[in-house]
Amino acid sequence: MANSDVKLICQDITEFKTEEKFEAIVSTGGVICILEEDGEYRICSHITDLEKNKQLLAKLHSQLDEDRLLALGIQGIHTNYKKEIKDEIFYEQKIKKEGNYIDKWYVFSQANGEIKSEQFCRFYVVDGRQTTQVLIDAGFKQGYQIIDGKFLVNYK
């Protein structure tokens, strides 16, 4: 990297261990991100248990230097859609919402409907009002900033 002060770590955050403190932690949607719907921001996570999400956020908080930031990427609402990618190969995502869960199927198919590849993911979504409290309970300062509509930023 051109700037030797930047350290990129690509690892399962639930298993990551270090004594090192960081100036910033950024998640753009790998394990945890933010969904924005009608001006309300909600934590969205591949970890499908609220208590484990709280533990993860507390862990992230503990790995930050004082007054440093956690930036969570903001995604739009997950919706059903299908589009042709190229030469009658289609990408489709199917969404089912139930309580705090979003089930999402990613499907690649041919024009005749034959499925070439499919993946399923389940996400846990924290209610917007609860999102603020979950972040505070993890140790982050009350309130957050929205940066360019792309990141929700909280400070330690």
Q: Number of folded domains in the chain?
A: 2
Higher pLDDT, 9 or 3: 9
In which domain, by residue range, is 117 found? Answer: 81-121
- Nearest CA-CA partner of 38 in 93, 81, 77, 95: 77
CB-count burial class (<10 Å; 0-12, 13-18, 19+) for 36? middle
Residue 8 located in a structural domain:
no
In a domain, 100, yes or no: yes
pLDDT tens figures, 79-93:
999 999 999 999 999
For 30-67, the pLDDT digits (tens) are: 789 999 988 899 999 999 999 999 999 999 999 999 99
Region 103-130: what's the mean pLDDT?
95
Map residue 139 onto helix, strand or coil.
coil
The residue to which tokens 């999400």 are assigned? 53
* Whole-angstrom distance, CA of residue 156 vs CA of residue 150: 20
Do 70 and 146 have their domain in common?
yes
> Do 63 and 140 have their domain in common?
yes
Do residue 74 and residue 133 come from a single domain? yes
**Can you read off the two tokens belonging to residue 47?**
């970890």
Is 2's pLDDT higher than 80?
no
My answer on whether 96 and 50 are in the same domain is no
For residue 25, which amino acid is it?
I
In a domain, 128, yes or no: yes
Tens of pLDDT, residue by residue over 9-32, are 788 888 888 888 999 999 987 789
Confidence band, pLDDT 50/70/90 cuts, at residue 1: very low
Both tokens assigned to 140: 């982050």
**Is 111 among the domain residues?**
yes
